[in-house]
Chain A
Amino acid sequence: MTPQPDSSVSQPSGTPTGTVGIDLREYLIPLVVVIFVTVFLWLISLYNFALYHTTVEFTTIAISVAIFLLVWKSRKIIDNNYLLFIGVAFVFIAILDYLHTLVYQGVGIFPDGGGTLSTRFWIAARYMQAITLLVAPLFIRRNLRLDLVAIVYLVADIIIISSIFVFRVFPATYIEGLGLTPFKIVSEYVISLLLIASVVLLYRNRDAFDRQVLNNLAIAIFLTIAAELTFTEYASFVDVFSLLGHVFRLLSFYFFYRAIIEVGQEKPYNLLYHNLTESEKKYRALSELSPDAIIVTRDGLIRYVNGAGLLMFEGSGTDSIIGKDFMDFIDPDDRAVSAIRITSVQEEMGNAPLRELRVIAGGKSIMAEATEGPISWDGKDAVQIVIRDITKRKIVEEENLRAREEWERTFDTVPDLIAILDTNHRIIRANKAIADRLGTLPEKCIGNLCYETVHGTSVPPEFCPHAKTCTDGKQHICEMDEPALGGTFIVSTTPLSGPEGNLIGTVHVAHDITDRKRAEAELLEKNRALNTANEELFEIHEKLKATNEDLVANEHLLVVRNEELTSLNEELTAAQEELHRHVGELNRREEELRQNESRLKDALAEKEILLSEIHHRVKNNLTAFISLLSLDGTYEKTDAGQALRKDLQNRARSMALIHETLYRTGRFSSVDMDVYLTTLIGQVAGSYAGNIPVRTLVDAKGVVLDLARATTAGLIINELVTNSFKYAFPPGFDCMAVRKEPCTVRVMLAREEGTYCLRVSDNGCGMSPKIDIASTRSLGLKLVNFLARHQLRADIEISTEQGTEFIFRLHTINEDT
C-alpha cells in the first residue's frame, strides 16, 4: 500500500487528530467482527474448549510475532523507542504464551501438565507483558539498545521456563480440586495494577504518539486488565469466566494489532517517524504539503521522495522508489542535460534555474518543470530536485493558443465590421470584414484615426457613438448610411475597460443592414399591395356575398324551374310517346307517300307521254293545217294570194315548231330558245331563199322561256324576219357596198339587267321612217306591236340607222302583275 500524504503529519506533536478521540464508526465494523468471532469461538468451545483456547492463543501469538517483525524490520527508521521495545518484548512473551498453549489442559502434549503448568506460564507471560508495558515508556526519551533488550528477555524466558519445567520453583497457580491459588489471584490483581500504571505512563508521554496509536494501545491495555480480572474468578478451565477472559485477551491483542500493525501500514509516518527532530518535521511537512514532487538524490540514487513524488512516479511505497537510480525516471533524451545540471549544482552549490524536461511517470513520458538545488542529507552533500507536472498546464497553454487562434479566426470570420478603438479614435484592432470594406488589410488599419479612415472627415461625425461612449462610458447604438462602406449599418460601441477598470476604448461593431432595409422597403411595398389586394378582396367578398344571395335566389328559382322542368319533362315524355305514335303514323304515311310517289311517277311518266303526244299531235295538226294551206284552191294563185299563203304557213310553222321543240327537248312547259330560234330562222330563211344571199345569225344561248312567251316571241320574230327577207334587201341593194358586210339577219335574245332583251335586226335598206308601228295597217307589224305590248309586256325600240333593228325589253310577269 502506498502511504498517503497525511495532514496529521503537519500537525504539531501531541495535537489531537480530528475532533473526537475515538471514532466510533472506525470501531463499529471490527466490533461486529469481534462479536461474530466470539460467537464462533464460543461454539468451538462448546465442542472442544482446548481447541477454542488454542485458537485464541495462537491468534495472539501470531499478532505478537507480526508486531515483532514489523518493528524489527523498521527498527532503523523507527524513532519511537516505546514501540521498538514492546515489539521486541512481545515475541518473547509470545514464547511463554506458546508454551502456555501447548501445556493447556486437554491439548495432551504434556500429560502431566494440565492446568498447573499452563496457568504458571500464563502468569509468567502476563507479568512479563505488564512489566514490558510499564517499562516501555521509560525508554521513549532514552537510548535503547534492542540487542540488550532481546538478551534480557531471552534470559527472562529461560529463567521462567527453567523455573517451571526444570526447577519447578515457580509458585503454584492452580491446584486440582481447589482451583486457583492465592498467588494466582493476587498476581492477576498485581498485573492489573501494573497495567494501569503503564497506561498512566503512556499518557504521560502521549506527545510521542500519534493519537490513534495511543488510543489503541490504551484500549488494548484495558482489555488486558479486564481479562486478568476475569481470570481471577474461574473455578474451572472450561467455565464461563475462562471463556470470557480469553475473549478479552483476544480483543486486547486485536487493539495491539490496530495500534502497531494497521497504523504502521496505513500511516507509517504517524507511527514510525513521530519522534523526528523538529526541523526534519518541518521539512517533511513542507515537502509532503508540496504539490510538486521533491526528490533528494545522492550518488545518483534516490534518498528521499515526498508524497507528490510518489504519486507522480506511481511507486507502491517509499521503498519502491528510494534507492533507485534517479535517471531511471528521466526521459532518455533529457538524461544528459539533467546529469549536467545535477553535477553543476553539486559543484557550484547554487540553485539551477527552472527548466522543462520530460520524466517517466507511470511508464509514460510526461512534460515537467524542474529545478535543482544543493542539500545536506545524512550529513553528506546531496541534490534536491523539485519536479512539477506541467502536463495539464501544457494542455491549458495549447488550449489557450487554440482558443486565441480560434478567436482570431472568429474575429475575422464574423460578417459584422468590428474594430477596437482607443479613446483617441485610433484603431487598435480591425477584423477582416471592415478591412475588406475599406479595401485594405486589417493590419494596415491599426493606428489610423477611425473617422479619417471610414468617414473621410477630419473630426468625428456628430452622430459618432464611439465619442459618446468615450464621454459617458455607456453603450451607444446608431444607424448610419456610409457610402465609403457601401451600405446602411447599425453601429454599436461597447465600452472596453482596462485592467484597472478604466475606460480604454470601445468595441465598435457595424452590422450591415442594407439588405434588411431593402427587404423592409420591399416588405412595406408588398404590405401596401397586400392592403390594396385585401381591400379588393373585401370588395370581391362583398360582391360574392351579393352574388351568393343572387345565387340563393336563383337557386330557389331553379328549384321552381326544376319543378317546372320536371313537369315539362313529364309532358315531354307524354309528347315523346305521342311523337312515337306520330312517327309510326308518319312512317305509315311515308310508306303511303312512297306508294303515292310511285303512282305519281307512273302518272307523271304517263302524263309526259301524253304531253309529248299532245304536243306532237298539235304540231301534226298545225303541220296538217300548213299542208292544207298548200293545197290548190286554198288561195288564189295570185302573187298576193301566194304571199298570204306563205305568211300563214310561216306563222303556223312557227307555232308548230314550238311544239316540236317541246317534245324534242323533253321539256313540256319551257322552251330552249336557242334551239327553237335557230330552227325557226332557218325555216323562214329557207322559205325566202332568193337571188341575194342573206346570212342569218342566231344567238339565244342559255335563254329558256315559258310556253306562252316563247310562242309569242316566235310569232314576233317570224313576222320581223319575214319582213327583213321580203323588204330589207331589195334587188340592187349591195350590202357589202353599203354596210361593209354581207347581208345579214340577226336574232339575239339575252338576259340584260334582270330582264330579257330581244334584238331582231337586218343590215338592209332600212324600214321607212313613215311607218308607225302603232297605227300601221300591216298585219305583220300590227301583230308585232300588239303581241309585244300585250303578251310580252315589252317596250319596243326601232332603229333604222344601219338597216332595221327592233329591240324588245321584256318585263317580267311579276312586275306586270
Chain B
Amino acid sequence: MTGETILIVEDEGLIALHLTELLENAGYNIAGPAYSGERVLRDIASAPLPDLILMDIALAGSLDGIETARQIRSKYPIPVIFLSAYSNQNRIDEAHAVSPFGYLTKPVMQDDLLAAIRGALDRTAA
C-alpha cells in the first residue's frame, strides 16, 4: 500500500470506474472521481489535498482539464497527469503549458499509468 491519495477527474463513467479499480488495486487512495472542472475547483479546498491529480482533458462543463489544472496549480503545488484521447500536438502543447507531470493518451496501458504516477509522486516528494 502506497497510501497516497489520487484525485481522478474523468467524465466518462466506465473509464473512471476502470481507473478507480486499477489504482485501488495498486494501493492508492482514490478521491472522487470528479466529472467536471468546476466541481473539482469547488470541492478541492473542503477536503484534504490529494497528492496527485489524474486529469482528463475533455470534461463535462465549461472548463476543460487544462484550464482546471492551471487554476489548481496556481494555488496548490499538486502534480497533475493529463489523460486524453487526443493525440493532437496542439492540445499536447497547451497541456504542457501548465507544467504537468505527465501526459498519457487513452487507452492507457496499466503499467504506463502506474509508472507515470509513481514518477510524479516521487518527483514531488523529492
Q: Name A residues whose Cβ lies closer than 8 Å to a Cβ of B.
A: 708, 712, 715, 782-783, 786-787, 790-791, 793, 813, 816-817
Chain A nearest CB: distance from B122 CB in Å? 29
Interface residues of B in 13-42 (CB under 8 A from A): 13-14, 16-17, 33, 35-36, 38-39
Instruction: Name the CB-closest residue of B to A783.
Output: B17
- From A715, A787, A817, give the contact of B61 (CB < 8 A): A817
Q: Is the interface of B mostly helix, strand, loop or mixed?
A: mixed
- From B13, B36, B61, give the contact of A786 (CB < 8 A): B13
12 more CB-based (< 8 A) A-B contacts, given A783-B14, A817-B38, A817-B39: A708-B12, A782-B17, A786-B17, A787-B14, A790-B13, A790-B16, A790-B35, A791-B35, A816-B39, A817-B36, A817-B60, A817-B61
User: Are A712 and B39 in contact (CB-based, < 8 A)?
Assistant: no
- From B12, B16, B33, B60, give the contact of A816 (CB < 8 A): B60
User: Are B38 and A790 in contact (CB-based, < 8 A)?
Assistant: no
* Separation of A791 and B35 alpha carbons in the complex (Å): 7
Collect the chain A residues with CB atoms within 8 Å of residue B38's CB: 817
Chain B nearest CB: distance from A775 CB in Å? 13
User: Are B33 and A813 in contact (CB-based, < 8 A)?
Assistant: no
User: Are B61 and A791 in contact (CB-based, < 8 A)?
Assistant: no
**Is B87 part of the binding interface, using a Cβ–Cβ cutoff of 8 Å?**
no
Collect the chain A residues with CB atoms within 8 Å of residue B12's CB: 708, 791
User: Are B60 and A712 in contact (CB-based, < 8 A)?
Assistant: no
- From B33, B61, B62, give the contact of A790 (CB < 8 A): B33
Chain B CB count within 10 A is highest, among A715, A786, A813, for A786
Per-residue CB contact flags for chain B residues 36-75 toward chain A (1 = under 8 Å, else 0) read: 1011000000000000000000001110000000000000
User: Are A813 and B13 in contact (CB-based, < 8 A)?
Assistant: no
* Separation of A499 and B15 alpha carbons in the complex (Å): 151
* 30 contacts across the A-B interface (CB closer than 8 A): A708-B11, A708-B12, A708-B60, A712-B13, A715-B14, A782-B17, A783-B14, A786-B13, A786-B16, A786-B17, A787-B14, A787-B17, A790-B13, A790-B16, A790-B17, A790-B33, A790-B35, A791-B11, A791-B12, A793-B35, A813-B60, A813-B61, A816-B35, A816-B36, A816-B39, A816-B60, A816-B61, A817-B39, A817-B61, A817-B62
How many residues on the B side are at the interface (Cβ–Cβ under 8 A)? 14
* Separation of A787 and B17 alpha carbons in the complex (Å): 8
Instruction: Name the CB-closest residue of B to A655.
Output: B14
Collect the chain A residues with CB atoms within 8 Å of residue B16's CB: 786, 790
Chain A nearest CB: distance from B73 CB in Å? 21
* Separation of A791 and B36 alpha carbons in the complex (Å): 10
Collect the chain B residues with CB atoms within 8 Å of residue A793's CB: 35
* Separation of A783 and B11 alpha carbons in the complex (Å): 15
Collect the chain B residues with CB atoms within 8 Å of residue A791's CB: 11-13, 35
* Separation of A539 and B41 alpha carbons in the complex (Å): 73
Instruction: Name the CB-closest residue of A to B42.
Output: A817
Instruction: Name the CB-closest residue of B to A786.
Output: B17
Chain B nearest CB: distance from A670 CB in Å? 16
Collect the chain A residues with CB atoms within 8 Å of residue B13's CB: 712, 786-787, 790-791
Chain A nearest CB: distance from B6 CB in Å? 16
Instruction: Name the CB-closest residue of A to B63.
Output: A817
* Separation of A40 and B60 alpha carbons in the complex (Å): 166
Collect the chain A residues with CB atoms within 8 Å of residue B11's CB: 708, 791
Chain B nearest CB: distance from A625 CB in Å? 14
Pairs of residues from A and B, 4 with the lowest C-beta to C-beta distance, nearest first: A791-B13, A817-B61, A787-B13, A817-B38
Instruction: Name the CB-closest residue of A to B32.
Output: A790
* Separation of A270 and B32 alpha carbons in the complex (Å): 179
Chain B nearest CB: distance from A655 CB in Å? 10
Collect the chain A residues with CB atoms within 8 Å of residue B17's CB: 782-783, 786-787, 790
Collect the chain A residues with CB atoms within 8 Å of residue B60's CB: 708, 813, 816-817
Chain A CB count within 10 A is highest, among B14, B16, B39, for B14
Collect the chain B residues with CB atoms within 8 Å of residue A712's CB: 13
Collect the chain A residues with CB atoms within 8 Å of residue B39's CB: 816-817
Chain B nearest CB: distance from A595 CB in Å? 28
Instruction: Name the CB-closest residue of B to A651.
Output: B14
* Separation of A783 and B21 alpha carbons in the complex (Å): 12
Collect the chain B residues with CB atoms within 8 Å of residue A787's CB: 13-14, 17
* Separation of A104 and B105 alpha carbons in the complex (Å): 199
Chain A nearest CB: distance from B18 CB in Å? 10
* Separation of A708 and B59 alpha carbons in the complex (Å): 12
Instruction: Name the CB-closest residue of B to A785.
Output: B17
Chain B nearest CB: distance from A297 CB in Å? 160
Instruction: Name the CB-closest residue of B to A712.
Output: B13
Collect the chain A residues with CB atoms within 8 Å of residue B14's CB: 715, 783, 787
Instruction: Name the CB-closest residue of B to A793.
Output: B35
Collect the chain B residues with CB atoms within 8 Å of residue A786's CB: 13, 16-17
Collect the chain A residues with CB atoms within 8 Å of residue B33's CB: 790
Chain B nearest CB: distance from A782 CB in Å? 8
Collect the chain B residues with CB atoms within 8 Å of residue A813's CB: 60-61
Chain B nearest CB: distance from A774 CB in Å? 13
* Separation of A790 and B36 alpha carbons in the complex (Å): 10
Chain A CB count within 10 A is highest, among B13, B14, B33, B61, for B13
Collect the chain B residues with CB atoms within 8 Å of residue A817's CB: 36, 38-39, 60-62
Chain A nearest CB: distance from B38 CB in Å? 5
Collect the chain B residues with CB atoms within 8 Å of residue A790's CB: 13, 16-17, 33, 35
* Separation of A708 and B35 alpha carbons in the complex (Å): 12
* Separation of A472 and B10 alpha carbons in the complex (Å): 135
Chain A nearest CB: distance from B8 CB in Å? 10
Collect the chain B residues with CB atoms within 8 Å of residue A782's CB: 17
Instruction: Name the CB-closest residue of A to B35.
Output: A790
Instruction: Name the CB-closest residue of B to A816.
Output: B36
Chain A nearest CB: distance from B31 CB in Å? 13
Chain B nearest CB: distance from A669 CB in Å? 15
Collect the chain B residues with CB atoms within 8 Å of residue A783's CB: 14, 17
Chain A nearest CB: distance from B41 CB in Å? 11
Collect the chain B residues with CB atoms within 8 Å of residue A715's CB: 14
Chain A nearest CB: distance from B2 CB in Å? 23
Collect the chain A residues with CB atoms within 8 Å of residue B61's CB: 813, 816-817
Chain B nearest CB: distance from A789 CB in Å? 9
* Separation of A370 and B16 alpha carbons in the complex (Å): 167
Collect the chain A residues with CB atoms within 8 Å of residue B35's CB: 790-791, 793, 816
Collect the chain B residues with CB atoms within 8 Å of residue A708's CB: 11-12, 60
Chain B CB count within 10 A is highest, among A787, A816, A817, for A817
* Separation of A98 and B13 alpha carbons in the complex (Å): 193
Chain B nearest CB: distance from A778 CB in Å? 13
Instruction: Name the CB-closest residue of A to B13.
Output: A791
Chain B nearest CB: distance from A7 CB in Å? 153
* Separation of A463 and B14 alpha carbons in the complex (Å): 128
Instruction: Name the CB-closest residue of A to B33.
Output: A790
Chain A nearest CB: distance from B20 CB in Å? 8
* Separation of A817 and B17 alpha carbons in the complex (Å): 20
Chain B CB count within 10 A is highest, among A712, A787, A790, A793, for A790
* Separation of A793 and B16 alpha carbons in the complex (Å): 14
* Separation of A565 and B33 alpha carbons in the complex (Å): 65
Chain B nearest CB: distance from A705 CB in Å? 14
Instruction: Name the CB-closest residue of A to B21.
Output: A782
Chain A nearest CB: distance from B19 CB in Å? 11
* Separation of A25 and B13 alpha carbons in the complex (Å): 168
* Separation of A36 and B16 alpha carbons in the complex (Å): 176
* Separation of A406 and B97 alpha carbons in the complex (Å): 135
Chain B nearest CB: distance from A648 CB in Å? 13
* Separation of A813 and B38 alpha carbons in the complex (Å): 12
Instruction: Name the CB-closest residue of A to B10.
Output: A790
* Separation of A791 and B11 alpha carbons in the complex (Å): 7
* Separation of A114 and B61 alpha carbons in the complex (Å): 188
Chain A nearest CB: distance from B7 CB in Å? 14
* Separation of A708 and B13 alpha carbons in the complex (Å): 10
* Separation of A787 and B20 alpha carbons in the complex (Å): 13
* Separation of A817 and B39 alpha carbons in the complex (Å): 6
Chain A nearest CB: distance from B13 CB in Å? 4
* Separation of A786 and B14 alpha carbons in the complex (Å): 8
Instruction: Name the CB-closest residue of B to A787.
Output: B13
* Separation of A787 and B60 alpha carbons in the complex (Å): 14
Chain A CB count within 10 A is highest, among B16, B17, B39, for B17
